[in-house]
Structure formats: structure tokens, C-alpha cells
Amino acid sequence: MTESDFVRVKRSRVHEDIVQQMTQLIKDGKLRPGDKLPPERELAETLGVSRPTLRNALRVLEGLRMIESRQGDGTYVSQANFEQLVAPLAAVLSTRAFLVKDILELRQIIEPPIAERAALKARPEDIEELESILAVQAKKAGEGLETAEEDTRFHYAIAEATGNQMVVHLIDLVMSLLGEVRASWLQVPDRREVSLAGHRAILNAIKARDQAAASQTMKEHIERIGQAIETQL
Amino acid sequence: MTESDFVRVKRSRVHEDIVQQMTQLIKDGKLRPGDKLPPERELAETLGVSRPTLRNALRVLEGLRMIESRQGDGTYVSQANFEQLVAPLAAVLSTRAFLVKDILELRQIIEPPIAERAALKARPEDIEELESILAVQAKKAGEGLETAEEDTRFHYAIAEATGNQMVVHLIDLVMSLLGEVRASWLQVPDRREVSLAGHRAILNAIKARDQAAASQTMKEHIERIGQAIETQL
DNA sequence: AATGGTGTAGTGGTTAAACCAATTGGTATC
DNA sequence: GATACCAATTGGTTTAACCACTACACCATT
């Protein structure tokens, strides 16, 4: 027997045990989104712990959007959608400085095939949505207004055009990671025309159902923007 | 003035305000990973709130892995890595049933270009790592053992070969979303040979620095597995 | 010098009790 | 039926006390 046969003993905390228990109940389907939990006083008694200890556990679960407490009403298993579930992580990640270079490269890797899939799968209403966003973007750029919102919406709409919700959530997460870097880049007026031109080319390829062109135009667009952002840093 | 000019008033809770404040301090760099926070009793006094209320806020932050409390020592700003930051989300998502179809499609979209990038960027040690994993996988498959771990490591190692940390984290997240579905698929013995053969073809393409072949072999591999998993559901 | 034992101070973890704030449901009134 | 009021219930916060653990300092033994 060697020293490495011994493992550090992990102390459990009461409120963490409660979190575990609740998570498992939800995972097992015994508690479902929308279900109301017993009142805190009752649940604390059932669990054999003090109410503040239970509340510590509930705060953890609430921070993770797994439950929702309403004063005067009760505590419910959350019906949060994916976006709401991801929001805490996005907030946490925004406190960290990640390599912008890596994020930009990730975009270069994933957005061309996403555009390609959009060219394959877009429905007429998806195309209309893209055209509508582009029109607003053009109008605002023409008036010297800020277009970061349209830029985001355009990429988001391409993801939507794939008809795949996970792709949409992924783009959402990537965009939030880049956060303010893109926004500040778009503040410079002549760059808005670059963004607009890139978007136009992408949209034309998608409209034409030309998968290779969609991939290529998106690739060029992301590279152009990526280079400019890196120069700016 | 119309009714729509009025906006619902959002009540703030004290402990949520504290979470906001702490998050902002971390985001602004005024609190850095590894920094020690003042003792709870002192901090509660400074903030002008009760200690249980502060503790509620700290539980939220701890649940999000932003801080770490050590009994008898103190509370620190967390030095958690990306994987640890993502873990709570992965746990939450595991309580939800997401469309396996969408996740598999997402893999079909992103893993071929990732393999392509790996063929471009892999260093000798990356190739060695892939070969090593494949050898272990082959050995275990040959002995009728379970190979889910090697399967995961192989895809992870391809992401590593891109040299892009965000790509690695993304693959990590996607794999955890698929969780047990892949594992159960690999339990069936003859499927291990399919997985092994697919991995071999991908590795050969990467070794040959053949980007197109890497993309193509990965595409076929993911499609083959995806179809089988969907059939199983 | 290295190891083991003890004590103290400080810090987080839990409990108990009280009070405050918000929501919901029931009842009375018009 | 619509509105107002009230009581009960529920979550939110505060105060106080005690428990459990850690870090550190000091001393004794080998």
C-alpha cells in the first residue's frame, strides 16, 4: 500500500446535499418545470434542517435558474428556456478575459458551415427575415446610426435559418463572449459599409441556395472582420 | 401618453443587488481570481445588510463558481477554469431533455471543419496523442471492453490539435450535452469497430495533412454514428 | 531538525426566533 | 359583476447564539 491509495476526504455541507437532492429529483422527472415546491418552513422541517440552511440551497438553485421563488406565492421548478439557463454562464464568462483570437478563429471555423447549412435549409420566411434585417441595417448605416444590433440579428437569423436550435444557442453564446469588442468595432462609420456589403453577399448566396458560395462569402466576411478586430486590439 | 408608456416595476432583492455588485467588481478587475474577500461579518457590516442575507448572495455566487468559501479560512474569488465554470450549466442541462437530433446535427456542422483545421495545425505531439488514444481504444475493443472514454478523448484531442482553446471548450460542452446517449451506443460491441474504423480514417487524413479528407472522413463518421443513435431512440 | 500535541483566535456553517414585505384568496359592499 | 378590504400564507430580512473547521503559535518529545 502506498500513499496514493489514500484519497482526500470530501466534507459535505448540508445545503449542498439539498442541492444535490433537488437536482436529482428534477433529473428523475419527479419534479417538473412548473411544479410548486412545498413552502420553505414545511420543506425545512421535512428535510430536518433550519430554514436559513434550506434558503442557502434554494439560492444556489435559483442562481442556476433551476427554480424560481416568488414572495407571497411560493417556489417553483423553473420553466426557463435554454437562453435563460445559459444566461448565468454568459454573465460569469463575461468576467473572464478569454482569448479574442481564439473566439474569432472559432467563428471562422463554425460560421461558414452554418451559412452553408442555412443555404440548404432556409425557408422563404427566413430569407424575408434576413432581407428585412439588412434593410434596417442599410437604413441605419445610411443615417450614420449604430448598427451593432442588426449585425447580431443577421448572424442570429442565419443560425435560425438552419432550423437547428442548438446552432442558434451556440451562435448566441459566441456572440455574447465577443460582447463589446464587435460593438466598438462597428462604431466606426466606414466599417458599417464593410459589414453591410459582407451581409449582402452572404444573403445573395443563401437566396441562390448556393451552399459553396454561402460558405465562402461567410468565410471572407468573418476573416475581414476578425483581422480588423485583431488590429484594433 | 398611453398605457404602454408605463413599464412594470422590477423589485430588487437585497441579495441580488449584492450579487450584481460583486459581479461588477470582478468584471472591472477590482477583484481578481485568488483574491480574498473580507470576512462575512465584516463585509455584511460594510454592505449594511445582515449576515444571512450576505450568505444568500454568496451562495448564488458560489453556485456559479465565481467564488469559493472555505470554512475556517475565508472566501475567495474563484480561480475556476472554463471547465469548472461550465460544470453547473452542464448539470442543469442534464436535467432537461434537449433535442438529440439538433445536437447531432450541430456535430455534423462543426466537427468536419474542426477536423479540417486540425489537419492544418496539428503538431507532432498532437498526432502522437491521437495515435496513442487509438491504440488504447483498439486494445480495449479487442478485449471486449468499453471504449466510451477513448471515443471522447479522441474527439477532444482533435479539438486540442487545432490549438484553439475555445474549440476545445465547445467540443467539451457538446459532448457533455450528448452525455449518456453516446455511451450507451458504444456499449454494443460491433459498434466499437465502427467507431475505431472511423477514427482511423480521420487520423490518417490528419497525419497526411489532407484537410479535405479530414473533413470528409469526419463528416462520414459523425453521420454514421448520428444515424445509428437516432435509430436507437 | 522533525514530528506530534495542545490551545487560541478567527472564519464559515447551522440553528432559532422574530419581524417585514408581497401575494393570494375569500368576503363584503355597491 | 366589479371593486375594495382583510386575513392567511409565503418568501425576504434581521438579530443572536452556537457549532465546526482552519490556521497559526507554542511547547514537548524524539
Q: Model confidence over A171-222: pLDDT tens digits?
A: 888 887 776 666 666 666 677 788 889 999 999 999 999 999 999 999 999 8
Q: Which residue has the higher pLDDT, B105 or A60?
A: A60
Percent of chain B with pLDDT over 70: 90
pLDDT at B96: 75
pLDDT at A47: 94
Q: Do B113 and A110 touch (CB under 8 A)?
A: yes
- Taking Cα atoms as reference points, which of A78, A81, A82 lies closest to residue A68? A78
Decide if pLDDT at A21 tops 80. Answer: yes
B112 CB near a chain A CB, below 8 Å? yes
Task: Report the alpha-carbon distance of residue A158 to residue B99 in Å, rounded.
Answer: 20
pLDDT at A10: 75
Test mutation, B106, B117, B158, B211, chain A, max A CBs within 10 A: B106
Q: The domain at B3-80 falls in which architecture? A: Orthogonal Bundle (1.10)
A66 CB near a chain B CB, below 8 Å? yes
- Give the contacts of A139 (CB within 8 A, at least 6 positions apart): none
Q: Would you say B51 and B44 are in contact if contact means Cβ atoms under 8 Å apart?
A: yes
pLDDT band at A61 (very low <50, low <70, confident <90, very high): very high
pLDDT at B187: 64
Decide if pLDDT at A76 tops 60. Answer: yes
Q: Would you say B192 and B97 are in contact if contact means Cβ atoms under 8 Å apart?
A: no
pLDDT band at A7 (very low <50, low <70, confident <90, very high): confident
- Give the contacts of B95 (CB within 8 A, at least 6 positions apart): A23, A26, A27, A66
Which nucleotide, over all strands, has the C1' atom closest to the CA of B54?
Answer: D13
Is domain B85-232 in CATH 1.20.1280.260, yes or no?
A: no
Residue type present at position B100: V
Which nucleotide, over all strands, has the C1' atom closest to the CA of B12?
Answer: D12
Decide if pLDDT at A169 tops 70. Answer: yes
B177 CA to D13 C1' in angstroms comes to 39
Distance of CA A129 to the CA centre of its chain: 20
Percent of chain A with pLDDT over 90: 52
**Average pLDDT value for chain A:** 87
User: Residues 17 to 56 of B: which have CB under 8 A from any A CB?
Assistant: 19, 23, 26-27, 52, 55-56
- CATH 1.20.120.530 residue spans of chain A: 85-232
- CATH 1.10.10.10 residue spans of chain A: 3-80
pLDDT at B1: 54
Decide if pLDDT at B128 tops 70. Answer: yes
**Average pLDDT value for chain B:** 86
pLDDT tens, position by position, B143-199: 888 888 888 899 999 999 999 988 988 888 888 777 666 666 666 667 778 888 999
Q: Do A63 and B65 touch (CB under 8 A)?
A: no
Which nucleotide, over all strands, has the C1' atom closest to the CA of A39?
Answer: D10
pLDDT at A186: 64
Q: Do B59 and A64 touch (CB under 8 A)?
A: no
pLDDT tens, position by position, A79-121: 887 778 877 887 887 777 677 788 888 999 999 999 999 999 9
Q: Rounded to a whole number, what is the largest CA-CA distance in chain A?
A: 76
Name the one residue in this structure whose C-alpha cell is 497526411.
B208
- The CB density around residue A93, as the number of other CB atoms within 10 Å, is 19
Kindly provide the ipTM of the predicted complex, given to two decimals.
Answer: 0.78
